[in-house]
Amino acid sequence: MEIPKALLDRLKKNEEIARKFNEIEVSILSILDFHNFFDRLLTEISDKFFIPHIWVAMISEGRLARQLEANHDSRELASSMVNVSQQVFSSIVKTSKPLLANTGLSAYKKIIPQTLDQDIGSISIAPISLDGEIVGSINQADPDPKRFEPGIDTSLLEQLALKVSLCLSNVTAHEQLKYLAFHDPLTGLLNRGVMKRVLEREFSRAKRYGTDLSLIFLDLDDFKAINDTAGHDIGDRVLCAVAEALTVHQRQSDIVARFAGDEFIVILPSTNTSQAEYYLHRVKHYLDTTPLNDGKKDHVIRLSHGISNILDAGIKDTRDMLKIADKRMYQAKAMKKTPSHPATRATSTKDRRLNR
């Protein structure tokens, strides 16, 4: 029995599409960072299938959006992504299957980039998932209403979304490991090892160009009492609140890190001591006016601090900057305590820790 030519043509076309999908998969399989992954993926799809408009819609509360934000990749990808709430996304995408539309396109307006709003005749929306959770969709659009006409077979689109989801899982796992290598897992701040490398870099830069550099050593007051009376969960929330206060008021060039326990470091390039004090004034005011409530009482978070500056006497390297700021911080803390807690004893204990 002779196979109809139309069917042969269709099979041949499907084979060609499947081949292109396989090429895309091979192209993105080895990429392990978000920016290059999405950039390559969207470019490959656009080039191979002559798609004029392609972008990603991402659920803002989803795991992928949170990780992109934590890795600071969301800003780099802003031109190719649209963020929508879970509620909006669910109202548009009701199943995990690809969706095609060429009429009533205003219903999809919230997941379409504003620059494309007047240039769409049909649209394809293919949900993507991360470890079983739908986190967004790959969207394609064309001025031609017949390009993504409802009723067209979407099985290949579904395969593409599945391949992308599997590859995305690899990228996410790799990015998470990379993130944890550089960041404190509780607060999301840079960790101690990274902070020391950054401080070395900024110290060398300040020396080379004759610019200012200040360092703040911070410690929470009575943090042990909070843990003992309110519990470690509240203690963790307190640490996160301090991290938030420090980052909310930092400049783009400032570096905030968690040093150890309830201790934090802020590196302020091109900043003198009085400017560093003003930064701290704003941070402390923020904490004073936004106490942490544990459901039973408000906890007003207090800090003690010490500041060192690259021009201070006795500073020859970054170790000196840390030691002097640390010593001044414990002197400030000791002034708040009774004579039974002398600054000299606290300082010598801290110096031993810094020398480890």
Q: 137: Cβ–Cβ under 8 A, 6 or more apart, which residues?
A: 56, 57, 89, 93, 111, 125, 126, 127, 128, 161
Confidence of residue 3 (pLDDT cuts 50, 70, 90): low
* 218 contacts 263 by C-beta, under 8 angstroms: yes
Q: 41: Cβ–Cβ under 8 A, 6 or more apart, which residues?
A: 24, 28, 138, 164
pLDDT tens digits for range 117-171: 677 999 999 999 998 899 999 999 999 999 999 999 898 889 889 988 988 998 9
* 226 contacts 239 by C-beta, under 8 angstroms: no
**Between 196 and 11, the higher pLDDT residue:** 196
Model pLDDT, residue 350 = 46
pLDDT tens digits for range 247-295: 999 998 999 999 999 999 999 999 999 999 999 999 999 999 998 888 7
Alpha-carbon torsion (51, 53, 59, 64), positive or negative: positive
Residue 269 CA to residue 205 CA, distance in Å, equals 9
Phi, psi (rounded to 5 degrees) for 7:
-70, -40
Alpha-carbon torsion (309, 310, 313, 314), positive or negative: positive
Residue 210 CA to residue 204 CA, distance in Å, equals 10
Model pLDDT, residue 5 = 62
Model pLDDT, residue 178 = 84
Residue 14 CA to residue 213 CA, distance in Å, equals 62
Q: Give the closest residue to 249 by CA, choosing from 223, 271, 227, 219.
A: 271
Give the residue carrying structure tokens 């906890």: 299
- pTM beyond 0.85: the answer is no
DSSP class of residue 96?
A: S
Stretch 100-114: mean pLDDT: 92
* 127 contacts 93 by C-beta, under 8 angstroms: yes
pLDDT tens digits for range 72-90: 666 667 778 999 999 999 9
Model pLDDT, residue 325 = 97
- Residue 63, amino acid: R
Neighbours of 316 (CB within 10 A): 7
Residue 187 CA to residue 239 CA, distance in Å, equals 7
List the domains of the chain with CATH numbers: 5-182 (3.30.450.40), 192-354 (3.30.70.270)
* Cα–Cα–Cα angle for 149, 155, 160, rounded to 5 degrees: 100
pLDDT tens digits for range 192-230: 999 999 999 999 999 999 999 999 999 999 898 888 888
Stretch 302-312: mean pLDDT: 96
Q: 323: Cβ–Cβ under 8 A, 6 or more apart, which residues?
A: 351, 354
Model pLDDT, residue 226 = 87
The continuous run of DSSP H or E covering 295 comes out as: none
Confidence of residue 342 (pLDDT cuts 50, 70, 90): very low
